[in-house]
Structure 1
Amino acid sequence: MLGSLFILLSSIPLVLSWPDGAPCVHAAFESMNPLEAVEHQGGLQLSVPPYEIAIDQKCYWRNQPIGLTLQGLNESVFFKGFVIQPFKWNNDQLGNRIGQLVRLDDNGSWQQQCFRFKDSATHSHDEKKKHIKMWWKNDDELDTVQFVATVVKHQTMFWVKSVRSRPIPPCRLNRDGFPSYRAPLPTVPPPVKQFKMETFRVFDSIGAETLDQTLHNQPQPSPIATSPTMTKIIPVVDGFQRGSASFSAQVQTSTAPPPLPATVQTTTFRPIPARPRQQIVAQQPSPAFRRRGQSTFRQSSSFSSGTCIDRDPQNRCPQWRQFCRSPSHQRYLSTFCARTCQFCR
């Protein structure tokens, strides 16, 4: 459970309000929508924006840059962030992006959103701005272009693709442009993906203490269905099983296990047929030990030679850790949980 939560936490990207410009990611590039960042929630404006995109010319020639300026309708209007893109225009129907935005001065207040394409510009800092100027050019003269902008006044006030220039046609087709053009009223943009919002709500409300408490309260793995509830460790030939409450009373009166014959048959001790278990009896005591009446639970000589492993067939040694120093169970744990109990020499 802890590993899964760590992976989920590691896979969540850091969500910022883009003070250094809109990121070059597909969702933000295509939507031009600040709602892609969680901090902008609740700031969408559907009123007429107090901004405009002024164009220096009525039409454009191939490979000849034309200037465009994003500015407020008066000198008292400012903005902090923006994204502006050139689109193919056809009676207010926007097509593909065309041309490229270029810099002909040393104004460092804007940058390319994606340097690979150069058809989307954004702010480079979140200081107040009253106007931003850039240039645009196209290598053909086929389509009418319209510049569309998303403008952010502050974190919770912005207009999405609502600031539009007048359409600029190729000069060879129309030198007068569209002087009487009126931009359409703002509309609600398509919704952003909700996974990011829901993930933020979950993890933003969990502090460090709450997270630790949540991990502490995670349910532990349930015992094997065929095993009774553990109340005391009971040594058996191939590990330990969970004893029932009634069986626990019997163990309290007799802490030492009954003596086992020198040669143990693998078919005689199967108290809980849960799943196929490792044949621990594969390493039989040497004949010298049998002549001395040694029990099969005596620590194997392999541990003294540097081998340190847990031999419990169901990997339950971490559950027996609290009994590692118990005199009544120490010799059994040294055989089956030597590594967990640190009995290695």
Structure 2
Amino acid sequence: MTSPTPARRRGRRAALVGGILALVLLYVVVILLYAAGGRIERAEVSSGGAGDPLVLTLTPASIDGAAGHMTLRIKPGPLGSYSSDQFSMDETVHVLVTGTDGSRTIEYGADEVAATETVTLTLDGFIEQWPFDRYTTETLIVPLREGADGEGVPIPYVLSVDGRVPGWSVQAEAVATDPMVTEDGPVAPLGVQFTVTRAASTVAFGIVLLTLMVIAPVLVLTAAITVYRGRRKIEATMLGWFGAMLFATIPLRNFLPGSPPIGSWVDYVIVLWVIAALIAGLVIFVLAWLRSGPDGVASAQSANDNAHSQDDGSDADAGSDGGGAGGGE
């Protein structure tokens, strides 16, 4: 056997170093993307009107693409001119929130501590397009006090959006509608439009997992075709390895971030063909094993018998040499 030339050894060493550097670079990029992602760009809009406004801070808490829901926390404070102690409202204020599963009204009673409330907004989008799925929703949030005629009258307020949702990229755009004339002057009902996409770190994580899934059938097919062409001997124990690769595909697919449902486009583009390639590799290996037939088994048995006979002959020669030496003494 000829040893590799120095140039070939240097090429292999360079390829190994390059592969290690690529993995380290990929690792650093994914970590940096995760650290930088998920932060919501702060958005703020005022309704106008006289006096100190009521500030409502909106914080997206969680996003469920499969259910099409986004949980939103609404925190009041500062409470503005309609509160003398900044802990409770001087009169009952109802906050109307649209875009939920039906319109919802949050009540801040007089002389009651104004606490954070949670609402669930509905999202428009398709999780089947994971990891490039995109969702939108719009909500109108208006605090109302009871007017002289018993109707709800908007009070001056400010909507502020802030927070962070890990694994998601959320863009908030404040929307102001036509103002309404009130005792506090013109007050415009305010809304917020949310646009939600997967964070870059989540997309990178999913691409890495899908790449690993593609590598598995490539290895299996390479081994199976090599054995079928007779360049490597048949090892029946490799069937267990092929089976393990096949059964590892589904847990790996279910580990994808965001848990895309079965039938997503990623299943048709990648997962289905990964399973098909693994089965093909298993079939090719079994055909190679069957093709070897009894001759392959007989030749293997003959090789084992020859090895045993050579061992017995060596033991006999060693015994005779020992006996001759004893007789010479």
TM range (shorter): under 0.3
Structure holding more helix per residue: 2
Tell me which of the two structures has the higher relative contact order, counting C-alpha pairs closer than 8 angstroms and 6 or more residues apart: 2
* Higher Rg of the two aligned structures: 1
Structure holding more strand per residue: 2
TM-score normalized by the length of structure 1: 0.24
